[in-house]
Amino acid sequence: MPVPLLDITGLTFEADHRPILDRLDLSIQPGEIHALLGANGSGKTTLAYVLMGCEGYAPSGGRILFDGTDLIPLKMYERARLGLTLAWQEPARFEGVTVREYLSLGKPDADPAEALSHVGLDPARYLHRRVDKALSGGERHRIELASVLSMHPKLAILDEPSAGIDMLSISHIIGIIRAVKAGGGSVLLITHQEEVALIADRASQLCAGRIIFSGSPRDAVDHFRGRACVRCDGEECHYVRP
Amino acid sequence: MSDLDDLRRTLPMVGAEPAILDDTRIAHVVAHGHRILSRRTVPGVRVELEETPDALVGTLTVEAGAQIAQPIHMCFGLAHPTGAQHIKIDVKMCEGAQARVLSHCLFPLAQAAEHRMQAVMEIGPGASLTYTEGHYHGPHGGMRVIPHATIKIGQGARYFSDFSLLSGSVGTLDIDYLVEVDADGLAELSAKIFAHKTDYITLKEAVMLRGDRSRSLIKTRVVLEGQAQADIVGITEAYAAGARGHVDCMEIVQGLAHASAIPIVRVFHPEAKVTHEAAIGSVDKKELETLMARGLSPEQAVEMIVSGILR
């Protein structure tokens, strides 16, 4: 078994004395697309924030090794400079910042036009536009994914990358996930969409802050559908074995 | 070196090239204190300014129907640490005229200086004026700037103003603009200011939408750091059918700076509508974290967000 790119053991994160992540174990191999499934409130987005080091998301226990480095003492931008990044479910808007500038962040050699083409947006129409509220939700989402691709990350955490994307454009989202992999990167893919989850190499189901199933994407989707939690409110896992 | 040379050298601080003063196709006025150092007019533009001991007094007229291709440059300032400049100017855009005025206000060495502007602008029916005003007050914070203007926008006329003070210290800035808009007229007022140390800003812009279908936008972007203070008031009143106005004020506050933003909207006609938005706070956390997740340090991220807002 190769050394995992991301190796999480016993990760615990609490909010208001309640465990949101509860001794969570998960590993992702280099070049792997790993889908993370789970009901609303199961802890998927919290895991993304803890991994990225967002403010207020310091874990109370466990270990996160990324490419052999302990991530927990590192600041967010230090984690990014190691090759980890996050695409938010609801991307931020930036007044005055052009798409070209946004896609070149920290990467003077980035190719914004190519990244835009990957997400199905015409560079001639979009490079000069601003990453502000004039963009539709779908356009902003695709630009977010293009910015992730521009980084050439070792691991991209994509939180609901297909949210707000029309059906015809899902293929572009799948294309960009595969492009990260083709560039040697890994993807932690948080999704509710079966079509998107099935492109993963492996998948896990999260429930009340714990991984309760890992396997092939097909098996994980079937597991989630067939034996989904009735309700995960963070106080107790309601997962019921058949 | 002459006062004219000193002011010329400072033009790049407000994004202008010194060579514009040599171009015979471009109208300009350069005034140091109450002395006119250089002037040129072009067909369709009349500049009548008089030196007095207390003020520069005069008019800038763009003749009816004239379409002035090149911007008209008005360069005012003081090249010394102390002094005063008082300008009383009437700007008249005759019917159907179109022009762009770039006003450069340069006080590179100011330690205890004052610039006072009293302007009356009349934008005639169907005319259009774009008035861009760039300020540089040097590093010392000893400048006091008091621009007050009354702007009357005629039927179907358009007025766009863009005030910016983005590098160096502000000192004390007291802007007071009153804009009256006639039927089918349009007023867009934009101000961008970056304040530091103990800079103090009061900015009051009031738009009266008097005519049917008149429209306006007041957009203010102020970033404050150190112990700077800003009090911003954006007023829009709509008196006629189909009048539409919007007030949009954003202030970013860092360090010990503090700010207030008061949008005042009043509607006196059932078919008029005025909206407003005002936001004061530190740099948005999500924007900051998004940039840091791309590898920017907190300082780099703040700089990018602030420069975007002030663009």
Please count the structural domains in chain B. Answer: 1
| B161 located within any domain | yes
Going from N- to C-terminal start, the domains of chain A cover 6-226
User: Is a pLDDT exceeding 70 seen at residue A1?
Assistant: no
pLDDT confidence bin for A23, thresholds 50/70/90: very high
| B296 located within any domain | no
| B75 located within any domain | yes
- Residues B74-78 have a mean pLDDT of 96
Contacts of B294 in chain A (CB under 8 A): 80, 85, 105-106, 147, 151
b/e code A95-111 from CB counts within 10 Å (16+ = b): bbbbbbbbbbbbeeebe
Handedness of CA A162, A165, A170, A172 (dihedral sign): negative
Nearest to B177 by CA among B133, B254, B234, B126: B234
**B191: domain range?**
3-284
Judged by average pLDDT, the poorest of A42-46, A166-170, B289-293 is A166-170
* Torsion (CA) A176, A177, A179, A181 in degrees, nearest 10: 170
Q: What is the ipTM of this complex?
A: 0.92
CA nearest to B283 within chain A:
A94
Tokens 């102390």 belong to residue: B82
User: Given an 8 Å threshold on Cβ–Cβ distance, is A94 in contact with B310?
Assistant: no
Determine if the pTM surpasses 0.90.
no
| B311 located within any domain | no
Asked if B49 is an interface residue toward chain A (Cβ–Cβ < 8 A), one would say no
CATH number of A6-226: 3.40.50.300
How many Å lie between the alpha carbon of B155 and the closest alpha carbon of chain A? 30
B286 vs A238 pLDDT, higher one: B286
Tens of pLDDT, residue by residue over B236-246, are 999 999 999 99
User: Given an 8 Å threshold on Cβ–Cβ distance, is B295 in contact with A105?
Assistant: yes
| B290 located within any domain | no
Q: Is A212 exposed, middle or buried (0-12, 13-18, 19+ CB in 10 A)?
A: middle
Tens of pLDDT, residue by residue over A200-218, are 999 999 999 999 999 999 9
| B300 located within any domain | no
